Amino acid sequence: MTYIVALTGGIGSGKTTISDIFSSLGVPIVDADIIAREVVAPGTAALQAITEHFGADILLPDGNLNRAILRQKVFTAPEEKQWLNALLHPLIQRETQRQLTQVTTPYVIWVVPLLIENHLMHLADRILVVDVPVEVQINRTMARDGVSREQVKNILTAQASRQDRLEQADDVIVNHNNSKQALTARVVELHQQYLQQTKSVRQENHNE
């Protein structure tokens, strides 16, 4: 089985930037957010179920899921969030497992924003946390998504705290005021480290 490095971090921490650098080094990326979008693409059974449950206004004019509306509907209704999770989590987990088992490189980056919140740490061999101060998360998310400070703070409240993530981390990338060059250098350093670690694991397994 391929060595799995889980990449996580709060909203606006820069997970995509980091995963893109790993990808440029030839490391395969399995991204939970991308999979979550794929399982509710137009024409899927999951999107049909969501539409029947919440009504047609949950769709955008082009037939895609209106994530902003869905977020509003489940944010203040725990029972609706539970229903949605029960529908989507098994689909996401099945597709994630399928992608992970197809990897043939020494290690894979598994991007999981809610790794801590969904208690998935045991599924990874190593945990890499992208860390930034909360104020940076708020400013970046407001600028990127066009949302209010209050909305971002609500999302942050629903996510694991910065301290919780750091306590679970095996490795940390500080993505605050760092140049692209500095981030790339840090990723290259970790890339070499992970290649060495996977080599050691393979040797241990071979000797057993």
Q: Where is the binding site for ATP, in residues?
A: 12-17
Residue 164: CB atoms within 10 Å: 12
* Residue labelled with tokens 């047609």: 56
CB count within 10 Å of CB 13 equals 25
End-to-end alpha carbon distance in the chain: 15
CB distance 30 to 109 below 8 Å? yes
User: Are 135 and 176 in contact, with CB atoms under 8 Å apart?
Assistant: no
Q: Quick one: which of 44, 30, 33 has its CA closest to 96? A: 30
In what side-by-side order are the strands of the sheet with 3-8? 29-31, 107-111, 3-8, 126-131, 171-174
Q: Which two tokens stand for residue 89?
A: 């989590």
* Binding-site annotation: residue ranges: 12-17
Specify whether the backbone of 95 is left (phi greater than 0), alpha (psi in -120 to 50) or beta: alpha
Under a CB-based contact definition with an 8 Å cutoff, are residues 25 and 187 in contact? yes
